[in-house]
Every structure is written in structure tokens, then in C-alpha cells.
Homo-oligomer: A and B are copies of this chain.
């Protein structure tokens, strides 16, 4: 079974559209502000997707483009205005920020109630505590949404997460624990990784290495979720999973592109609706 992201995103989108209508009827017009410093290509690409998705959902999304040489104080001033603007419900700040701006300072400035991609310590702490009143980050949440959509049981299952970043591995592990999975977190220093992944019911890969996970790592029937987005030798997009190598033996796998990445920006708007309702 191929776990396509589009159907998940479409279903979530339908739900969001209904919620937007309801909010509109109550005079609330959900609005996201994307803060982008400079013109990084991957930021621009994500932005295009998000703006398109917003339009589809009937949600206002604005981009605040700031110059690459903006000072930290100026950045904070801009952020502060958006923080205080009551017409804005959610804020997404593209990261990494340029060197002169310290992300560790900025994350303490973003209004936690508008922090729809879980940058603020308040939301990171809630994530770890399993407190669902916060916002969980988009990519790990997309993984959970896909698993739920396809009725893949997590309770009591052995889930191996490869990667321990703050963008995917660690927050995803916390979300999986909330779903009562038994979670093993592996990384570059893990010994006998193949032995560990071979025992898993579900393997989730988020290491950023093209086609790393092949059939040597899994046993028949494993479910594989590929969070990687890489470019292979011939310039094509590919994941951290060698899809063609494993597709015959897995019971289910997400494709790249068209898997996890197809769901993430919808989560952003799901979080935005949550922010509106608060």
C-alpha cells in the first residue's frame, strides 16, 4: 500500500474549509502571516505551496518579506507588530534566520498563542508534556495524521524513529508516545541500526540522506514513513528511503514526493484554526 499524502491533505482541507465557514459566520477571518527574511529558494517554494493552500481553504495569508541584512532589533519590532495585530491569528517564521538574528532570542518573542509551527518554548514544553493546548510542529504532525488516516494502529506498537532533530525526530517521538506507541529513537551514533529497524512495526526516517533505508533494514510487512526530501544523483527529488528497493516487502510506505511533504502545509492551517478558536 502506498500512503499518499494528498488524500490526507484533502480530507483535512475539507474539515478546515467547514471550520473556516463557521468562523466566518461568527465574524472571525483566520489569517496567517509568513515572515520571510531574504529570498531563500526553499522558503519561496514552501511559501508558494502555503499561499495556494490558503486560497483553497478560504484563509487569508500574507507574507512579510524582510531584507536579508535586517538587524535583530528591527526584526523584533516587525515581529512585535504582528504579535499584537489582533487580525492575525498565526505566524510562521522561516528558519534558519540570517546570522545576525539569534533564533534563541526570537523564539521567546513570538506570541505563543500565534506560534502555529511550535517555535516558542511554551509550545515545545507543552509538546513534551503531552499538553494538547499547544501547537505541535507541522512535519511530525503530518506523520501522525497520515498514520491515523490510513488506520495504522500506534498503540503498543514498536515504532523506530531514525533522526533526533528538533524539527522532526524529538517532537515526533513525543507525539508517538502520546499515541501510546513504544518509541525507539535512533541516530548517527546508534549501533546495529539494522537489527533495531528489523524488529520495528513502523520505521520513520528523518535523516536527510538520499535513499538511505533499503531492504536490508526492514523485515516483511513493516510500515515505512519517509520524512526526507533530497535530490538524487540525476537531480530528481527523493526521500531517505530507497522506495523501489523496499516497495515489494513493506506493507505500506509513503512516497517522496507526494507523502509527508504533501500534508505539512495543511497542518499549518489546521493549527491556525486552532489558534482562532482559542
Contacts and interface: CB of A to CB of B under 8 A. Distances in A.
B183 A185 contact: yes
A177 B170 contact: yes
B187 A184 contact: no
Contacts of A131: 104
Nearest to A179: B189
Given A156-B190, A182-B184, A183-B184, A170 B124 contact: no
A177 B173 CA distance: 12
Interface residues of A, number: 32
A219 interface: no
A45 B121 CA distance: 33
Nearest to A134: B121
A135 to B, nearest CB: 13
Interface in A168-218: 170, 173-174, 177, 180, 182-187, 189-191, 196
Nearest to A161: B183
A273 B162 CA distance: 36
A237 interface: no
Contacts of A186: 182
Contacts of A185: 173, 177, 182-185
B187 A180 contact: yes
A166 interface: yes
Interface of A: 104, 108, 121-122, 124-129, 131, 155-158, 164, 166, 170, 173-174, 177, 180, 182-187, 189-191, 196
14 contacts: A121-B126, A122-B125, A124-B124, A125-B128, A128-B166, A158-B196, A164-B177, A170-B177, A173-B185, A182-B185, A182-B187, A182-B190, A182-B191, A184-B185
